[in-house]
Amino acid sequence: MTDWWTVVTILGLAVVTVITRSFFFISSKPWTLPAWAQRGLHYAPIAALSAVIVPEIVMTQGQFIASWQDARVFAALAGAAWFFWRRGVLGTIIAGMAVYLPLHIGMNW
């Protein structure tokens, strides 16, 4: 059985989430961001992806990979090559996985 503090915390977080997400709908005027914020948002997806993907490719359990025999590196290179060649996201995923799975499962890299 959950205690009351847990229930109150969950309800409080739900209220805060609903208020902050609906804050933009409460106003009758349209909201605009300053030009510097709009320009910065163009770089946000690239920064977020690189912050998530790059450590996953070059690190294992908090340490840099010590061997070139890592399937993730070759899969990332194959995916990047496909993307720069064909500019397709689905093909990038397929190319990366087509390299990763045989190396990881077949060769145990």
Identify the pLDDT of residue 1: 63
Tens digits of residue pLDDT in 43-64: 998 899 899 999 999 998 889 9
Q: Is the pLDDT of residue 33 over 90?
A: no
| Spatial distance between the Cα atoms of 30 and 24, rounded to a whole number of angstroms | 8
Provide the angle, in degrees to the nearest 10, between the axes of the packed helices 89-101 and 71-86. Answer: 150
User: To which H or E segment does residue 57 belong?
Assistant: helix 44-58
Identify the pLDDT of residue 80: 95
Identify the pLDDT of residue 4: 92
* Contact between residue 57 and residue 72 where contact means Cβ atoms under 8 Å apart: yes
Tens digits of residue pLDDT in 68-107: 899 999 999 999 999 999 999 999 999 999 999 999 999 9
